[in-house]
Structure formats: C-alpha cells, structure tokens
Amino acid sequence: MGKAAPVVRGEEDEEEPDPGTGGPVRIDPENGRDIPESDKVLLSGTMHNLTHAPAYRKVEGMQPVIGNYLNKLIDRMESDITGYKASAISCKSCDVADIQNAIAGSQADPVIIQAGHLNLDSDVTFGSPTKPFVLLVQGMNTNQANAVTIYGTLIAEHALNANQGTKLTAAAVGGKYGSVWVGGPVHLNNDSNVTVSDTLYAGNLTYNNGTLQMNARRVVVEGQMHINTNVEMNISGEMVVGAIVSNNQVGNLNITGGDLYVRDNVSVNNNLNVTTGGVWAIGSGSAKQEDRHSHAG
C-alpha cells in the first residue's frame, strides 16, 4: 500500500503546470522526489519571528497544490466509505454485544457493520487477526482508561472522543485495512494512545492533557491539528494537514519515511520538534515563538 514520496517541484523547474491547480508546483504520489534533500522548510508564504525560525526556502505556489493533493486523498477515502456502506449490515441500535454477535455470525470478508453512536466504558475487541471488520458509526466516545482494538477499519461519520487514557488500535489484517477515518473532530485527551497500521484521517485533530502518543503510517487532517500538551507522533509514511497550531509543552513530530505537507499556516507558541524523512512544505505562512526543525533524508 506504500507509495513513493510525493514530488515537489519549485518555480525554477521547467515543468508542465499541475493539472489540478494550473500552478508551477506539482505533487505526484506516483513518482519519486526530484528536489535535493536539505534541512530547509519549503515555504510559500511569510516566515514570522525569524529569531526562532528554522532555515527555509521560498517555493511559490504550493498552497493550492497541497490543497489539491489533500482533497484527492479525502476523495479516495470517501469513495472507499461509499463502497463499505453499500455492503454494510445495518445495526443502528446495536450495542457492543450485538455487534460482536453479528461479526461472529457473518461469513463476509470483511464483515462490515453500520451502527449508531457508541459509548465505550470497558475494553473491547472487534474482529480478529483472521476475521477483518469494518465498523461504521455515527460517533464514538471512550470514557475510561480502556483498550479499544479493531482488526480492520473504524469509520466515524461525526466525532471521536478518546478520554481518560484510552488505547485505540486499528490493526491491519492480511496487509489491508487498519485505518481510523473520522469525518468530524478527533479529540485525544488525558494520556490517550492511538496506533493505526495504515491511515488516521480526521476533519480536525486536537490533543489535550497529559502525554499523548500517535503511531500511524499516514496522518491526514482536512482542517487544523491543535497540539495543547505533550505529544509524540511517529509516522512511518507522510502527514498531510490543513494547518498546525501548537501551544504544547513539547511536541515531537517524527515523520520518518516521508513528507510533512501543511496547506495553510503553522503557528507555534512553544517547543515543536519536527523530523521528516523527506520535505516539510508549508503552503502559506509560519509564525513561530520557539521551535526546532530537523530533517533526516
């Protein structure tokens, strides 16, 4: 499921305009990168507070292109969701036990169930390493220090709130699934821990209180990612977000195998440490009070 790192081409390259934006910069996930590795942030807007800013390089025209790439990722996900809904078992009033019974009684591969809103107050496992499961819900709340494991993919139409030290895991089965897709906001609170084998998608992503850890292959956030506490993000592939607002104590974003694309602004009011295996590209501006950026090519 992995892809080569997206291409970012600066204005100095003689390339055809991006077909989605008409601009001089292109992101092409099917090919390798053709700009040199460096420690510099790529920026289309203005870097403020230069005293604490990382080294950067101006590359015009990235905002609409990053936005176009982000939209393509979302469109692909929404197409998959439409397909899952067409095959889903309707179980709108089901509780956890009802859902688990429906999984056990189905021979489908994967088992797909569309439920209502779930409030989880104890440990729960959906699916198994030999029985992948796709769960579609209106929303989900976890209210205790519980472990929620799904062997497959979790899709929440509205919101996901993980509270009180929740450990949420979406595990791949046979090299497929293993994602958490949330159309609305995701709130990770009070020492919550999230591990997804493939992609975490959120309309908005907010970290609050305690020490929070995120492990994923890819993170996609349509709107803003707010970091308000101690956060450790370990991303083996790429991260593509609308904007970053960091008011944290310490935030470590480790995108070890790919790129960090921010469509709009990055606002940092404390310590933000970013390591990428590729490039860090910001489509608009960056206002920084205290941060560091390192780059591992």
3-state secondary structure of 172: coil
Q: Does residue 10 fall inside a structural domain?
A: no
Q: Does residue 90 fall inside a structural domain?
A: yes
Comparing CA positions, the residue from 220, 227, 228, 262 lying closest to residue 242 is 262
Percent of the chain at pLDDT exceeding 90: 62
pTM of the model: 0.88
Residue with tokens 């809904």: 85
User: In the chain, how many domains are there?
Assistant: 1
Identify how many contiguous H helices and E strands the chain contains and give both numbers: 2, 24
Check pLDDT > 50 for residue 16.
no
Cα(292)–Cα(281) distance, rounded to whole angstroms?
Answer: 15
Cα(120)–Cα(123) distance, rounded to whole angstroms?
Answer: 8
Check pLDDT > 80 for residue 15.
no
pLDDT at site 247: 86
- H-assigned helices in the chain: 62-87, 96-104
- Under 8 Å between Cβ of 136 and 157: yes
Comparing CA positions, the residue from 181, 187, 139 lying closest to residue 163 is 187
Cα(159)–Cα(210) distance, rounded to whole angstroms?
Answer: 21
Polymer length of the chain: 297
In terms of residue numbers, what domain contains 250? Answer: 37-284
Q: Does residue 56 fall inside a structural domain?
A: yes
Cα(196)–Cα(213) distance, rounded to whole angstroms?
Answer: 11
Q: Does residue 202 fall inside a structural domain?
A: yes
- What's the rounded mean pLDDT across residues 166-176? 97
Q: Does residue 29 fall inside a structural domain?
A: no
pLDDT at site 289: 53
The pLDDT tens digits of the residues spanning 94-117 come to 999 999 999 999 999 999 999 999
Percent of the chain at pLDDT exceeding 70: 81
Check pLDDT > 70 for residue 77.
yes
pLDDT at site 46: 79
Which of 72-76, 83-87, 141-145 has the lowest average pLDDT? 141-145
Q: Does residue 96 fall inside a structural domain?
A: yes
Cα(134)–Cα(150) distance, rounded to whole angstroms?
Answer: 8
For residues 263-293, one letter each, b for 16 or more C-beta atoms within 10 angstroms of the residue's C-beta and e for the rest, the string is bbbbbbebbbebbbbbbbbbbbbbbbbebeb
Cα(106)–Cα(53) distance, rounded to whole angstroms?
Answer: 55
Confidence grade of residue 50 (pLDDT, cut at 50, 70, 90):
low
Tokens (6 digits) for 286 = 């960056």
Which of 51-55, 130-134, 184-188, 245-249 has the lowest average pLDDT? 51-55
- What's the rounded mean pLDDT across residues 191-209? 95
